[in-house]
Amino acid sequence: MTDVTIKGAGILGLSIAWACVARGASVQVIDPHGVAAGSSGGIVGALAPHVPENWNPKKQFQLESLLMARRFWADVEEVGSAPSGYLSTGRLQPLADDHAVALAQTRCERARALWGDAARWEVTDRPPDSHWCPPSASGHWVYDTLSAHLHPRQACHALAAALARKGVTVAADGADNGPVIWAAGWAGLKELNAGRARPPGAGVKGQAALFGLDRAGQPQLFADALHIVPHADGTVAIGSTSENSFDDPTSTDAQLETLISKARGLVPALADAPVIARWAGVRPRARSRAPMLGPWPDRPGQFIANGGFKIGFGMAPKIGEVTADLVLDGRTTFPDDFAVTASL
């Protein structure tokens, strides 16, 4: 008999399956569209921390998850023999003026207090590579070592491969057995919204592009609200837009072309690099802006894991653990702000 049924083969559903299997549970994953068919099949994959200030349980949860990620993805790759694209190479951000430099230096102290020896946040006037660096009006940049990145689509397929080695495959359909965890992204969010005067979440479209340029091992960049991520497979991803209103969830348009032009202007190495892929998808965002976890109201034995939005991949290792705590052990170990009721 199956102990747990998971609806959705995106990053949250697969991470929860991995955590449940590690505890000896029998798991089935059901997704009619297959692995990483929704927003988890994207191409950017920046795993970036919150700014080290105004600390709260959400930021602490994310910190713990980012620190879990290196071991998490190493284990997944070892078991499944498939690459996740995970690299811990840090992040470089330009500082606009003297005020921004002073604020960033203050955050250095806060990072030491909050992150301890696990990672550092520092201000530098000497970026490691002038050809892989956005311009800075102040002549200074922030470099943090907590940021990492992965290739979202590859990471999901790596998890699916590891689960398959544990006897768990992704099926297009099947009967619900045991507790049911809905990790169905935007589609699941729309079902949760149905009939509610105040929808607990919404889909936000994002567009991204992939350049054919090998800068593997370089830090990811964040400049002018743009993520620039050098993947391990010899590509560079940029993104993304945030569109609350859209007609076609999977089409790309002039908004993406604007991002491509911006990226070429920010990073000299991208100026002549070819664009080899364009991507668009809809990410589920909870009204509380935090991941949404817990029992599905009025559906006994059913649970929700949704609302990852832009931080789903960074939160996934710990979301897997706390969802297993809830479903298998009956323990609530996630922050109150993550509860489904916080978004209702």
Mean pLDDT of all residues in 41-55? 95
Mean pLDDT of all residues in 212-233? 97
pLDDT of residue 128: 81
pLDDT of residue 153: 97
Mean pLDDT of all residues in 284-311? 95
Place of tokens 């470089």: 92
Structure tokens at 224: 């002018």
Judge whether 115 and 144 are in contact, CB under 8 Å.
no
pLDDT in tens, 173-197: 999 999 999 999 999 999 999 989 9
| pLDDT at residue 127 is higher than 90 | no
- CATH fold, domain 4-343, is D-Amino Acid Oxidase; Chain A, domain 2 (3.30.9)
Give buried/exposed letters for 154-176 (b at 16+ CB in 10 A, else e): bbbbbbbbbbeeeebebeeeeee
Q: Where are the domains of the chain?
A: 4-343
Share of the chain above pLDDT 70, in %: 100
pLDDT of residue 344: 87
pLDDT in tens, 321-338: 999 999 999 999 999 999
Whole-angstrom CA distances from 156 to 44, 84, 123, 239, 246 are 13, 7, 34, 19, 26
pLDDT band at residue 16 under the 50/70/90 scheme: very high
| pLDDT at residue 220 is higher than 90 | yes
pLDDT of residue 301: 96
| pLDDT at residue 2 is higher than 90 | no
| pLDDT at residue 129 is higher than 90 | no
Structure tokens at 246: 């859209």
pLDDT of residue 217: 95
User: Rounded to two decimals, what is the model's pTM?
Assistant: 0.96
pLDDT of residue 98: 97
pLDDT of residue 23: 96
pLDDT of residue 190: 93
